[in-house]
Structure 1
Amino acid sequence: MRFNLRHLRVLLAVVETHSVTRAAELCHVSQPAVTQALSKIEAVTGEVLFTRSPQGLFANGACEVLAKRVRRALDFLDRAFEEVAPRLKVTATLSQLEALIAVREQENYTLAAKRLGVSQPTVHRAVSQLEREAGRPLFERTAYGIMASRAAQLLAQAARLALAELSQAEADLAESRAEERGRLVIGSMPLSRSYILPAAIARFRQQRPRLPIQVVEGAYGELLAGLRRGEIDFLIGALRDPPPIGDVEQEVLFYDTVVIVAGHQHPLAGRDNITVEDLAAFPWVVSMASTPIRQHFDQLFLHSAHGPPTSIVESGSLILMRELLGRSNHLGFVSGGQARAEIDRSLVTALKVDLAHTRRPIGLTRRKDWLPTAAQRLFLEHLRVLEPVR
């Protein structure tokens, strides 16, 4: 759905005042302009939004659903506008903000235009209009590309979140008509891809067979950035202690313990009383530095007489780990939940090493101010009732 920001402000004014006349005064427009704005929003949504009576206009159920998302979207924008330039509340358009986001992310006007499917002068003009109203440059040309100012970063972040809210509005309105719209975008860390997500998706699909689901994989930092921009609904995987930043919150689903895995031909397979020195003598496949599992790995060899292993392959790929273990004497240091299917299928074997001290929380990370749709809430419910991997 494609909205006009000024029309949305008019909508909220009518919802709050129940009066076209009063809304016109508050928004500094004519009464016919208010009526036209409401008609256009109803055309965009395909909904009748007000009950008309001699006492005024009263929001119906569909209108309340839309107004809740619109308030949240405008709150994000208005906080940024107040800091950058209050006049933008009146003048900024969604097209201008979309151009700002694209230039901020692409750091190039031509690439931003290709992403938006418009001409380069159109993007440049949109950003220039924002800069003129803001009374300051928003981007600076450097040898490395176009760099966003702090004001541009603030506006782009607020605009992303506002657009996410308006996108959620379409799903909310469809829900009120018993239709499916929108999609789920899930940030997936390695453990979740082996057990949690497949189980939750299978259950969810029994109730929502057609709703698109996108699983986004990547490094934790990349997924967290996408979450904070509103591009990802929530993350599933190992939680951080403390939480990485104040605008997200974490929820524990269950606890997981690390295991050491090897190929069945490995000299340590099946052995008892394996020492740290025994482990240090072999090459390893481990996760990237700064991940929670890697920290446990480094601590394991902290007091080893021979020091840490010197032959290490860094990878978050369970497939690569499995294949390398099957072809060599490498050892793998991996989440127990992530490796459970590989162990159960006899593709790898777990060594007899007690790693109970590596117990760590697995769960959800989401924005503190996130308001899920009905479908997103349903998916979270399925996650919460899943039994942890043993």
Structure 2
Amino acid sequence: MRLLVSRHLENFLVLYEMRNMRAAAERKGITQPALTKSLRTLEDEVGSDLFKRTAKGLEPTEAGEALHRYAHAIDQEARFATLDVQRSTIEAKGLLRMGVGPALAVSSLPRVLVDFYEKFPNVQVSVETGITTVLIEEVIRGDLDVMISARPDRPLPEHFAAVHLFSNRMLAVCRRDHPLRQRARVTIEDLCQYRRVGFLDDHDFDINAKKTFGRRVENLTAAIRTNSVSVMLDVLAATDHFAIVNEIMVPRGKAQGLLPLTVDDPLWVIHIELICKLAFIDSRPIKTLLRAWNARTLVPSTH
């Protein structure tokens, strides 16, 4: 099935998405005859038609649907295999699509990317920041190759692997002259008297908060939600709002006059993991990424 790991597979993926030969050819930047020939070559390889023509355009056959279920995985594995084969020259060329949590993006990630780039100077790295619940869906769909974030509150598909990197506490933070800072210790009820700033679509936060605080969590609903760490910190620095964040964000927050509060109720611990397809876990790019993260990631002191 050597033709599956080729431009023919890429052409098939575009055809599956566009369902139109002309539109797919334009997307790929090739002629329709060339795209038709590519499709026929792939169909000869799998021994079946992959599309049927209808009044609405191209519709995948059963074989086409079956191939599509594996197409993203095949495409990813081919790209990582290419990187791995080239490891002896340290001149690998390719693309690594990475998703990371917001706190990691403003703390450990830049240094990790520098280390990774030293090993793979010709690899294009695409980085997306997001909440765990969003990133895990993109990894499973094949839109991301790897994610580094809090452990998702759901089991992974059997063909995916997770590697534990480190664990961190969650902390309540607010500006240095916040009224709550006049107290030696604060309770969750004290926090609930002020507005919280949170991340968009952070369903894992809601789950952990409910497990930790029970019905009291109803008063912790975020008044402001954002995907930007900068926006969150700016709002906290300018208002009496507070946030419950990963302790790895504390050094960045201190630079803007934000400090952690001593809370009577213990907050939860989150576990940061690298998650990718099982087939990728032993590839040189992923191993290099793991080594870089383990070498560079330091859990900050919050005192």
- With structure 2 as the length reference, what TM-score do the two structures score? 0.78
Is 1:381 the counterpart of 2:287? The answer is no
Match for residue 206 of structure 2? 294
Match for residue 176 of structure 2? 264
2:192/2:219 contact within 8 Å kept: yes
Alignment of 1:1-390 (within 5 A): 8=2, 94-106=6-18, 111-119=23-31, 134=48, 137=51, 151-220=63-132, 222-228=134-140, 232-289=144-201, 291-299=203-211, 302-304=214-216, 307-309=218-220, 312-337=223-248, 339-354=249-264, 356-370=266-280, 372-385=282-295, 386-390=297-301
2:132/2:149 contact within 8 Å kept: no
Q: What is the CA–CA distance in structure 2 between the aligned matches of 1:371 and 1:330, rounded to whole Å?
A: 41
Q: CA RMSD in A?
A: 3.6
1:319 partner letter:
S
Task: Give the secondary-structure state (helix, strand or coil) at the position aligned to 1:214.
Answer: strand
How many residue pairs match? The answer is 298
Closer, same or farther in 2 for the Cα pair 1:382/1:277, shift >3 Å? same
Instruction: Please report how far the alpha carbon of residue 172 of structure 1 lies from its aligned counterpart in structure 2 after TM superposition.
Output: 3.2
Deviations 1:149-181 (A, max 9, x none): 775443124233323333334333432345343
Task: Give the secondary-structure state (helix, strand or coil) at the position aligned to 2:91.
Answer: coil
Tell me which structure has the larger Cα radius of gyration.
Answer: 1
2:80/2:280 contact within 8 Å kept: no
User: How high is the sequence identity, in percent, across the aligned residues?
Assistant: 21
2:224 partner letter:
V
Q: What is the CA–CA distance in structure 2 between the aligned matches of 1:215 and 1:243, rounded to whole Å?
A: 24
- With structure 1 as the length reference, what TM-score do the two structures score? 0.63
Deviations 1:19-59 (A, max 9, x none): xxxxxxxxxxxxxxxxxxxxxxxxxxxxxxxxxxxxxxxxx
Greater RCO structure (CA 8 Å; 6+ sep): 2
Structure whose residues are more often strand by fraction: 2
Instruction: Please report how far the alpha carbon of residue 124 of structure 1 lies from its aligned counterpart in structure 2 after TM superposition.
Output: 6.9
Match for residue 46 of structure 1? none
Task: Give the secondary-structure state (helix, strand or coil) at the position aligned to 1:330.
Answer: coil
Q: What is the CA–CA distance in structure 2 between the aligned matches of 1:224 and 1:310, rounded to whole Å?
A: 24
Q: What is the CA–CA distance in structure 2 between the aligned matches of 1:375 and 1:310, rounded to whole Å?
A: 40
Instruction: Please report how far the alpha carbon of residue 229 of structure 1 lies from its aligned counterpart in structure 2 after TM superposition.
Output: 5.3
Deviations 1:282-314 (A, max 9, x none): 22111244532232334555333x942466222
Unaligned runs of 5+ in 2: none
1:182 partner letter:
G
Unaligned runs of 5+ in 1: 10-72, 75-93
1:159 partner letter:
A
Q: What is the CA–CA distance in structure 1 between the aligned matches of 2:10 and 2:123, rounded to whole Å?
A: 26
1:256/1:359 contact within 8 Å kept: yes
Q: What is the CA–CA distance in structure 1 between the aligned matches of 2:52 and 2:183, rounded to whole Å?
A: 63
1:281/1:309 contact within 8 Å kept: no
